């Protein structure tokens, strides 16, 4: 994989994540899922996407979502499952 390929995939991951978050926000506003308070629905967004090669030469794609409690597993799973449909396995992290 070239650097350009990696950068393109990072951009695609960021866009796909933001699309999922936008859809989720619309569902939330329609009172469907995620009614708990650990999410700032007004400013929910993907703030970073990383390509990581660890010491075992394993590649990890990590998406970080801003304005969400770090322990908001339900949202992390929702995004991960949505991304897996289009990409390889992706790690999803949430932060304030």
Higher pLDDT, 89 or 16: 16
- Assessment of whether the complete model's pTM goes beyond 0.75: yes
Please give the residue range of the domain that contains residue 9: 3-95
Specify the number of domains making up the chain.
1
pLDDT of residue 40: 87
Q: At 22, which CATH number? A: 3.30.300
Max CA distance (Å), the chain: 44
For the segment 9-68, what is each residue's pLDDT rounded down to a tens digit? 999 999 999 999 999 887 776 665 555 668 888 889 999 999 999 999 999 999 999 999
Residues 6+ positions from 70 with CB-CB distance below 8 Å? 93, 94, 95, 96
């Amino acid at each position: 994989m070239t650097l350009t390929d990696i950068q393109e995939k990072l951009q695609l991951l960021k866009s796909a994540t933001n699309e999922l978050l936008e859809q989720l926000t619309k569902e939330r506003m329609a009172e469907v899922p995620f009614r708990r308070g650990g999410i700032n629905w007004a400013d929910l967004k993907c703030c970073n996407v990383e390509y990581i090669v660890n010491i075992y030469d394993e590649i990890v794609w990590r998406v970080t979502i801003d304005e969400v409690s770090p322990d908001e597993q339900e949202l992390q799973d929702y995004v991960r499952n949505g991304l897996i449909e289009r990409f390889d396995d992706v790690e999803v992290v949430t932060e304030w």
